[in-house]
Amino acid sequence: MAPRTNRKWTLKSRPKGMVSESNFELVTEPTPELADGQVLVKTLLVAFDPAMRGWLDDRESYVPPVGIGEVMRAAAVGQVVESASRKLAVGDLVTGTTGWQEYALVDLEHPTMFGSVTKLPEGATPEQALSIFGITGLTAYFGLLDVGKPKEGDVVLVSGAAGATGSVAAQIARIKGASKVVGIAGGPEKCKWLVERAGLDAAIDYKSEDVRRRMKEECPKGVDVFFDNVGGEILNAALVNMAQGGRIVLCGGISGYNADSPPPGPSNIMELVIRRCRMEGFIVIDYLSRTAEAAADMAKWAASGELIAEVDVQEGMENVPGCLNRLFEGRNLGKQLCRVGEPE
């Protein structure tokens, strides 16, 4: 095969605060010859997740940081365009953590944690594969159900509710019989979407409303399950609005991901004692062996129209680094994606 030209965004320097395009370098190189067992995957859609910001800091965490000079790690959907493996054929649509690059060489015989791909789930579109069937969908599913353990009739509050994870968590809460689901999001457009499209009972606009007071108004008897993607002041406000025996699912803290040092902790933490509440963190990679279970439910709900997999698709390889910041600027509604190639 004649080599193709791969463009890839590698990490040049570690960001302080928000990432800048100058933290990355767009490198051009020919694609390599395939060895036995390898495939070449052309990237179609790249996915973005707030956790990616944490991978850029040089510190111990649940996954190693991205190294300087390495391709930026990211989930993506692609198409097999060359194959030296009997496991995948040219034309197959696949998903994996192939990163910010136009072509990924994948060795199916020697898969590594971030170096493998699998076919898309049966019937899933590329967008769905990266949203409800992707990391953020699984995070919402297992975080809400396994960590939050909502009971029918519970009052469920979700922060970052118009984001990829929050929007799915909130909809699953509704599907599972919550008596009320309230979402917190930034701006009237997102709040309108939450109520009119995602079927939530109410939305709180943290940019223009007094969040603590509005929580109290919407949840006068307290919140049974709070699914938190934001941390900071929103978490602190929720602590004084929890019902007795409530559960706080600590999914993430996007409000602090760009801080140089940890932002102030929640001063209302002792409310956990008075209200007998549980606050629990989790990482979705601990649940990956149960992916099929989530996928079956998600497929059913998506097919019936009960669950909307909203996506925000930007375009162009050159716009990839900027898409990460869209998450922190709150510009995305649903899963942030960027289209970098077309199927052949």
Task: Report how far residue 78's alpha carbon sits from residue 129's, in angstroms, rounded to the nearest whole number.
Answer: 11
- Report which of 103, 129, 128, 127 is spatially closest to residue 118, judged by C-alpha positions: 129
User: Shortest approach of a copy of itself to residue 164 CB, angstroms?
Assistant: 17
Rounded to a whole number of angstroms, the minimum distance from the CB of residue 282 to a copy of itself is 5
Does 64 engage in binding with a copy of itself (CB under 8 A)?
no
Candidate residues 90, 270, 288, 303; the one interacting with a copy of itself per rule CB under 8 A:
270
Q: State which of residues 87, 250, 319, 331 lies at the interface with a copy of itself (CB under 8 A).
A: 250
Beta bridge partners of 155: 180
Find the shortest distance in angstroms from Cβ 338 to a copy of itself: 26
How many other β-carbons are positioned within 10 Å of the β-carbon of residue 92? 18
Q: Examine residue 268 and tell whether it contacts a copy of itself (CB under 8 A).
A: yes
Q: Which stretch binds a copy of itself (CB under 8 A): 151-159, 180-188, 278-286, 293-301?
A: 278-286
Residue 61 interacts with a copy of itself (CB under 8 A): yes or no: yes
Question: String of b and e for 220-232 (b: at least 16 CB within 10 Å)?
Answer: eebbbbbbbbbbb
Distance in angstroms between the alpha carbons of the first and the last residue of the chain: 15
Cα Rg of the chain (Å, integer): 20
Segment interacting with a copy of itself (CB under 8 A) among 37-45, 182-190, 248-256, 329-337: 248-256
- The rounded distance, in Å, linking the Cα atoms of 321 and 18 is 11
As a whole number of angstroms, the distance between CA 247 and CA 279 comes to 6
Quote the CA–CA distance of 97 and 89 in Å, as a whole number: 19
Of the pair 55, 116, the CB lying nearest a copy of itself is at 55
- Asked if residue 65 binds a copy of itself (CB under 8 A), the reply is no
Cβ proximity to a copy of itself: between 3 and 245 the closer is: 245
Q: Given the rule CB under 8 A, which residues bind a copy of itself? A: 61-62, 231, 235-236, 250-253, 256, 261-283, 286
